[in-house]
Amino acid sequence: MSNDVKSLMRADAKKLQPGDAHYSAYVGPPQHYDFMGASQFRLLTTLGLRDHHRLLDFGCGSLRAGRLFIPYLLPGNYYGIEPNKWLIEEAIEKEVGRDQIRIKQPHFSHNSDFDSRVFGVKFNFIVAQSIFSHCGADLIEAALAGFRDVLEDDGLVLATFVHLGAAGLNEEFTDKGWAYPRCVAYRPETILGFIRSAGLVGDWIPWRHWQDWYMIGRTRAALPHKSSFGHLTGVVLRDRELSAGL
Ligand SMILES: C[S@@+](CC[C@H](N)C(=O)[O-])C[C@H]1O[C@@H](n2cnc3c(N)ncnc32)[C@H](O)[C@@H]1O
C-alpha cells in the first residue's frame, strides 16, 4: 500500500478513485464518504433504530457509517465485521478516536467467512451497504443464511444490490466469489430469489442511492407496510449534486 496515498488527510483525498489505498477511498467514491455514511444512518433511524438496539454493520469498512452509529448506540451495541483490519484502524485513528472506542465499546470481527454468527448474539438491525454489489451468488447465499440465524424475529436487514442495467452493467453476474472494486449486477427477481431461498422475506425500497436498497426480515409482519414507503425517499435538499441524484 502506498504510504503517500494512505497518509493523505481526508480533505485532500477526495479526487482518489474508489478502491484506492486511502481509508476514505477504498470503500467507495471518497467525495461521498460523508454522505454515504449519513444516508445509512438516516435510513436506519427512519426505520426505528434506537440506542438500545444491537446493530451489525456487515462489511463495515472504514466506519463510514459506523462513525455515526457508534456514538448513537448505547455501549456495546455496535458490531462490525470487516476483514481489512487496516480500514478500522485508520478510521479509529482519523475519525472516531480512541476515547469513543473506550466509552462505546464496539465489537469487531475480522473474519472473511461471510459468517455473522461469530458474535453469538442476535441483532435488531443488520446493514450491508455495497457488499452484495461485489458478491457472487455463493457469498450472498452464505451471508443471508447467517443473517437469518442472527436476526431477531422482528429485526430488519438493510442491504444494497446493483440492479441489472444500472452503472452500465448489462449482464447478470454468474461467477462465484468476491469482485472488487468493480460492481456486479442482478435482476430484481434474482435478488428476491436469494432472499426467499434463505428463508427470509424482503422488498425493494425507494431509498435514494445509485445502488438499490432492499429491506429484509424473517416474516412479513416484521417489515413496514408498502403503504409507508413514501417516507423512505432519502431525498436531500439544498445540495446541488445530491438533490439532483447520485
Ligand atoms: C464498498 S465497501 C463498503 C463498506 C461499508 N459497508 C460502507 O458502506 O462504507 C465493501 C467492504 O466490504 C469489505 N469486505 C471484503 N470482503 C469481506 C468479507 N468477506 N466479509 C465482510 N466484508 C468484506 C471490504 O473490505 C470493504 O470494506
* Per-domain boundaries in the chain: 3-243
Kindly state the average pLDDT of the residues 215-222: 98
- Say how many Å lie between the CA of residue 59 and the centre of ligand 1: 4
Q: Residue 38: what pLDDT? A: 97
Structurally, what CATH architecture does the domain formed by 3-243 represent?
A: 3-Layer(aba) Sandwich (3.40)
Q: Residue 240: what pLDDT? A: 85
Q: Is 211 a pocket residue for ligand 1 (Cβ < 6 Å)?
A: no
Please state whether 234 falls in left (phi above 0), alpha (psi between -120 and 50) or beta: left
55: enclosing H helix or E strand: strand 55-58
Q: Residue 246: what pLDDT? A: 65
Q: Is 90 a pocket residue for ligand 1 (Cβ < 6 Å)?
A: no
Q: Is 82 a pocket residue for ligand 1 (Cβ < 6 Å)?
A: yes
Q: How many whole angstroms separate alpha carbon 187 and alpha carbon 197?
A: 15
Mutational test site, ligand 1, from 84, 108, 140, max ligand atoms within 8 Å of CB = 84
pLDDT band at 211 (very low <50, low <70, confident <90, very high): very high
Q: How many whole angstroms separate alpha carbon 233 and alpha carbon 243?
A: 11
List pLDDT tens digits, range 38-60. Answer: 999 999 999 999 999 999 999 99
Higher pLDDT, 243 or 43: 43
Ligand 1, atom 4, lies closest to the CA of 61
Q: What is the CA radius of gyration of the chain?
A: 17
Asked if residues 25 and 16 have their Cβ atoms less than 8 Å apart, the reply is yes
- Say how many Å lie between the CA of residue 162 and the centre of ligand 1: 15
Q: Is 109 a pocket residue for ligand 1 (Cβ < 6 Å)?
A: no
Q: How many whole angstroms separate alpha carbon 78 and alpha carbon 234?
A: 23
> Please, which residues have CB within 8 angstroms of residue 109's CB and are 6 or more apart in sequence?
79, 80, 81, 82, 118, 119
Q: Is 177 a pocket residue for ligand 1 (Cβ < 6 Å)?
A: no
